[in-house]
A and B are shown apart, each in its own frame.
Chain A
């Protein structure tokens, strides 16, 4: 107990050095700017920054990436409020009440509330991160090949189901395609080269960073430049620093949204956008002023912004303890950790326990940074939004090219970036979610090696995959998820519940 508290205190104080504070300051500000600019997302920002920080010391590099992540998720609220365009998908729910508030001349207030809600959301999530991560890591030490196989499949399936609500098959397809990308290159059991078609550079497999830069950078550039709309910006003249009463009035919404956001973060590959939408929906259902939602409800804004920010620490829970990315940006963070010699997974609390608490420290310090920037730099951040995309996007593409090239200094990675950009663009246009694809690329190796290793241990007998207790829970959840995504099965179960429950309570 006390060990944990001491580690936690060390985790925060570790970064109270001039170098760390400097990195925190620029990375979180850059994050806010990237988040605020429509078309530049958190995942893209983090992926591009990996290429700029790979020569830093590991703790400083991860600090910069976390600050960028927190900053960009928060920054998305600016354009959501002022332009009615979410700067990142995470702020889509913020637009619903943020923009109407801005139209009423309360843009400053909306930005202030968004800032404090984001900060409080991160704090709620950080609380659960510090609490749950060590316990989960300890629990996961019992996992063997069988459990890791199911865990990898569980991640891809759950992510596919929850990120493609309208058509789960598209989510599953995205996940399977991601897993298949991971099959390219040398497999780890017998060192056999698969699907390389004589291209020697494919031998080491597809590097995640250029793939992410393509799927989230180049694809986004194509999407943004293709559209024609030019948004109109709301004016901000009122005070930004919120009154204490405005914050404390919605304390219950803040805590509930923080918890919902954290849970969304823990679920593999389910990101900030879903955390935000679910908190918003829950707040609306519980609200006494439902009619105000969508017309400028402060409660709605609080729910959306608390929900998306709480996802970040929530996502770090499975990311650190199971190496199972809680969100798309967390997948990039895993790749970055591996580049810097940090191995996330159940062993982390044994090999590197101080790192988990350092992540807690990074998140808390980033929260302080975004609060300071958010409440003080209003003018500058408004000016950022006026940069026309014609001038911005070519610069971003140059960074995508040079960023993909920089890590291993080979043109092949630029080609990977281009290929993933085009694939990502087409899939996005066809309404396929990107998160399961990313999860697939990260988890493919885990799934492949553990299935075959498990079968090797049992001499080809698959029974333990189904009978071991944790495995059984995982595969049953997977089966239920898939069956429930078939509309007919879903309907029958709903009807069954209606019949079982007393009348009037079913709806």
Chain B
């Protein structure tokens, strides 16, 4: 795949490569689940009927997942065999969309997994809302807003959102916020 390749073809090539990788991943997951279901206790000591062992359904589902994964991967492999294009495939992970994804997911994860529970909820929320708005208005924007203007409005919105959500859940729904 090079620069001249038409967009739809490039996209379908990318999807085929992604399908190949996910097919392999699902097949491996399927086999792992089959193994875990096989070694799952069969509760013989409790005298249960052998056709009701807890691992029966997960094992069957694992097998179905493995088969589907192999079919998906094999179908994709036939389509991409012999074609170069792994470099174009990897390029997506360094695109502008990938950067936007990294920023938004990074901020969300930092808020939900690190800040919430460690600092007061209202403060965590204020920081998160402020940071996300400013990041996407000032830096990750084709028509960036001036930093000061964006920061002032973002701070006001962040304070209002944090105050409202905290008040509504804490006093309205009587939730003990983290």
Q: What residues of chain A have their CB less than 8 Å away from a CB belonging to chain B?
A: 52, 55, 167, 169-170, 172-173, 176-177, 179-180, 183, 187, 189-190, 192, 194-195, 218, 221-222, 225-228, 230, 390-391, 393-395, 397-399, 401-402, 405-406, 409, 411, 414-415, 417-418, 422, 430-431, 447-448, 451-453, 455-456, 459-460
Contacts and interface: CB of A to CB of B under 8 A. Distances in A.
Nearest to A149: B57
A225 B100 contact: yes
A238 B50 CA distance: 71
Contacts of A459: 49
A264 B52 CA distance: 35
A452 B57 contact: yes
B105 A395 contact: no
B176 A409 contact: yes
Contacts of A394: 128-129, 132-133, 161
Given A177-B65, A228-B100, A430-B19, A452 B56 contact: yes
A405 B56 contact: no
Interface range, B side = 35 or more
A177 B26 CA distance: 9
Contacts of B72: 167, 169-170, 173
Interface stretch (B1-9, B40-48, B80-88): B40-48
In order of increasing CB-CB distance, the 6 nearest A-B pairs are A455-B51, A460-B51, A390-B136, A394-B132, A225-B104, A452-B52
B119 to A, nearest CB: 14
B49 A460 contact: yes
A456 B105 contact: no
A455 B56 CA distance: 11
Given A227-B97, A391-B133, A406 B51 contact: no
Interface centre among B46, B58, B75, B125, by most A CB within 10 Å?
A: B58
Interface of B: 15, 18-19, 22, 26, 33, 36, 40-41, 43, 46, 48-52, 54-58, 61-62, 64-65, 68-69, 71-72, 75, 96-97, 100-101, 104-105, 108-109, 111-113, 116-117, 121, 125, 128-129, 132-133, 136-137, 141-142, 157, 161-162, 165, 169, 173, 175-178
Contact of B173 (A52, A172, A397): A52
A398 B109 CA distance: 11
Contacts of B22: 430
Contacts of A395: 129, 161
Nearest to B21: A430
Nearest to A179: B61
